Amino acid sequence: MLIGYARCSTDRQDLRAQKQQLRELGIEDARIYVDHGYTGRNRERPGLKEALAATRAGDTLVVTKLDRLARSVADAAEIACELQDREARLQMGTTVYDPADPFGRMFFNLTATFAEFEADLISQRTREGLAIAREKGRLRGRSSKFTAAQQRHIGALIDGGEHTQAEIAALMGVNPSTISRFAKKRRAQAAAEGV
């Protein structure tokens, strides 16, 4: 039986292309497991856990590319070993990984190394970009959901102590965690200003 797995790192990315490729490789929709918004460096992915749990002896776990499965050599090797222990195979695109074949093992290890290298480059470029943005004063964090007047009103309600954060959230039409973050940020600013 073929089991498919697809992953993308952010909620803004789309899994349709990967799912279509998996269908073209002969996998039924009901047997495609996905992780949306999970990095390949995170081994604790619910879709991956489900895919591995569904894979039995004689089955093949199929990914479109190895970097969809893992972004580190260690994780890729660990997953491959787990599948081998279950007497299942791993397929990347149209290539089936054969751990008994020295060339197959070398290709797998090189592919995993390149996936890890690419992830490291992305992290490095992100850190460099954030540092440059910070230097130019362009990195200010997330802007507030509230106007200045609303912020003053919420601050007055919090300071008044007559309403809970949940009540203030209901009044403002937001999730209570939004008011909690607002209050925490306000306290931190007050502490920094020595108020």
Q: Write out the residue range of the structural domain in which residue 46 sits.
A: 2-119
Q: How confident is the model at residue 143 (pLDDT cuts 50, 70, 90)?
A: low
Q: How confident is the model at residue 55 (pLDDT cuts 50, 70, 90)?
A: very high
Task: Classify residue 183: in a domain, yes or no.
Answer: yes
Q: Are residues 37 and 76 in the same domain?
A: yes
Angle at 38 between CA 37 and CA 39, to 5 degrees: 125
Domain containing 91 — which CATH number? 3.40.50.1390
Length of the chain: 195
| Sheet with 32-36, edge to edge strand ranges | 32-36, 2-8, 60-63, 89-92, 95-97
Q: Are residues 34 and 96 in the same domain?
A: yes
Q: Are residues 153 and 88 in the same domain?
A: no
Q: How confident is the model at residue 142 (pLDDT cuts 50, 70, 90)?
A: low
Query: Does residue 77 contact residue 113 with C-beta atoms inside 8 Å?
Result: no
Angle at 106 between CA 100 and CA 109, to 5 degrees: 110
The structural domain count of the chain equals 2
- For 10-54, the pLDDT digits (tens) are 777 888 999 999 999 999 999 999 998 888 778 888 999 999 999
Helices (H), 27-175: 46-54, 66-69, 73-85, 102-135, 148-160, 165-172
Cα distances from 131 to residues 81, 95, 123, 125, 188, in angstroms, run 39, 40, 12, 10, 23
Report phi then psi at 47, rounded to 5.
-65, -40
Residues carrying an active site annotation: 9
Mean model confidence pLDDT for the chain: 86
Environment class of 4 (CB within 10 Å of its CB; exposed 0-12, middle 13-18, buried 19+)? buried
Task: Classify residue 126: in a domain, yes or no.
Answer: no
